[in-house]
Copies of this chain bind each other. A is one copy, B any other.
Amino acid sequence: EPKEVTETVMADPLPSWNEGDVKHSIIAYVEDVTDSTSANFIPVFDRIATFDNDGTLWSEQPMYFQLFFALSRIKAMSADHPEWKNKQPFKAVLENDMEALMAQGEKGLVTIIMTTHADTTTDEFEALVSEWIATAEHPIKKKKFKELVYQPMLELLDYLRANDFKTFIVSGGGIEFMRPWTEEVYNIPKDQVVGSSVQTEYDYNDGKPFIKRLAKLDLNDDKEGKPVGINRYIGRKPVFAAGNSDGDLQMLRWADANTFKTMKLYVHHTDSIREWAYDRTSHIGKFDKALDEANEKKWTIVSMKDDWNVIYPFEKK
């Protein structure tokens, strides 16, 4: 007499991830720590997941997307600054001379960022970013920047949230550059975005309160700044942390110091065809010391080429 077999087929929570060790270890981790009978069970308040942004949730080549925003602001602002035509680093930007711009070094970039990111109110800055993100296109991919997010990571964010993880961005990028679009693009609320920031000042003029952005760094949310930012904004160590470069190493170590079972995940840019391939010697997203430490400590390393069957949402079949 044949037995009746009831089979429940669970929908795959990570369809853009190829079957393999990485995908299986993510699912095994989540199933373990959310199982109330497991010795590794993590209470909901402690299910904190932190994600780097540039190179981890969206692309970062040929330069950080925030820099494209800054360059477009320089051009828009140049009408009021005729002197920029003959003054570096502005001259290089206005002439689209990337080589001359890079020759200005980090000091030139800081000038560009501060010039374009300060001396507005927070409301004005939000409007500028919102307009840019809605329309601006990547010069090589010919897609909007906000379309160049990684489909597998969107699925991972969803999967973690479906298991009561609270998902945060912890990025070296500007906090107020990201907040205007993280809700639409990642389903991550503004208050769950941690990033670099400028100092601000409250003013109350004629009964109209506003907050002014000053040309003075507040938090540099990169490297050692990531645990500091996590402590400031989140107040506890993550149990799940994902990054792609040496700038995330301190964040992953901070997660690793958690007393709960943790998962540390590195996205390795190995796909020169569908995205970009770079690591140890790259100026952007340098992944060298952290690659050694991740290997040594057996942290999870995602190969974009091998582990992802789709990179961007628009490629989905």
Q: Does A231 contact B (CB under 8 A)?
A: yes
Quick one: which of A151-188 are within 8 Å of B by CB? Answer: 166, 168, 175-176, 179, 183
Q: How near does chain B come to A198, taking the closest CB pair, in angstroms?
A: 10
Which residues of chain B are near A225, meaning CB under 8 Å? 202
Question: B209–A253 contact, CB under 8 A?
Answer: yes
Question: A233–B235 contact, CB under 8 A?
Answer: no
Question: B211–A228 contact, CB under 8 A?
Answer: yes
CA of A122 to CA of B230 in the docked complex: distance in angstroms? 12
With A176-B235, A232-B197 known to touch, is A191 a contact of B209 (CB < 8 Å)?
no
CA of A205 to CA of B208 in the docked complex: distance in angstroms? 48
Which residues of chain B are near A138, meaning CB under 8 Å? none
Per-position 1/0 for A230-266, Cβ under 8 A of B: 0111111000000000000010011001000000000
Question: A227–B253 contact, CB under 8 A?
Answer: no
Interface residues of A toward B: which range?
Answer: 35 or more
Question: B236–A190 contact, CB under 8 A?
Answer: yes
CA of A234 to CA of B250 in the docked complex: distance in angstroms? 24
Question: A45–B189 contact, CB under 8 A?
Answer: yes
Number of this chain's copies in the complex: 2
Which residues of chain B are near A83, meaning CB under 8 Å? none
Q: Does A193 contact B (CB under 8 A)?
A: yes
Q: How near does chain B come to A182, taking the closest CB pair, in angstroms?
A: 9
Residues of A within 8 A of B (CB): 45, 48, 122, 166, 168, 175-176, 179, 183, 189-193, 197, 200-202, 204, 208-211, 218, 224-225, 227-228, 231-236, 250, 253-254, 257
Which residues of chain B are near A179, meaning CB under 8 Å? 235
CA of A189 to CA of B201 in the docked complex: distance in angstroms? 27
Question: A227–B209 contact, CB under 8 A?
Answer: yes
Question: B235–A183 contact, CB under 8 A?
Answer: no
Q: How near does chain B come to A179, taking the closest CB pair, in angstroms?
A: 5
Q: How near does chain B come to A43, taking the closest CB pair, in angstroms?
A: 9
Which residues of chain B are near A183, meaning CB under 8 Å? 45
Question: A122–B200 contact, CB under 8 A?
Answer: no
12 further A-B pairs in the complex, CB-CB below 8 A; given A122-B231, A191-B234, A209-B257: A45-B189, A45-B190, A48-B191, A166-B191, A175-B235, A176-B235, A191-B233, A191-B235, A202-B227, A202-B228, A204-B250, A204-B253
Which residues of chain B are near A234, meaning CB under 8 Å? 190-191
Which residues of chain B are near A122, meaning CB under 8 Å? 231
CA of A315 to CA of B224 in the docked complex: distance in angstroms? 48
Question: B200–A231 contact, CB under 8 A?
Answer: yes
Which residues of chain B are near A231, meaning CB under 8 Å? 122, 200, 211
Which residues of chain B are near A189, meaning CB under 8 Å? 45, 166
Question: B45–A209 contact, CB under 8 A?
Answer: no
Q: How near does chain B come to A73, taking the closest CB pair, in angstroms?
A: 20
Q: How near does chain B come to A245, taking the closest CB pair, in angstroms?
A: 17
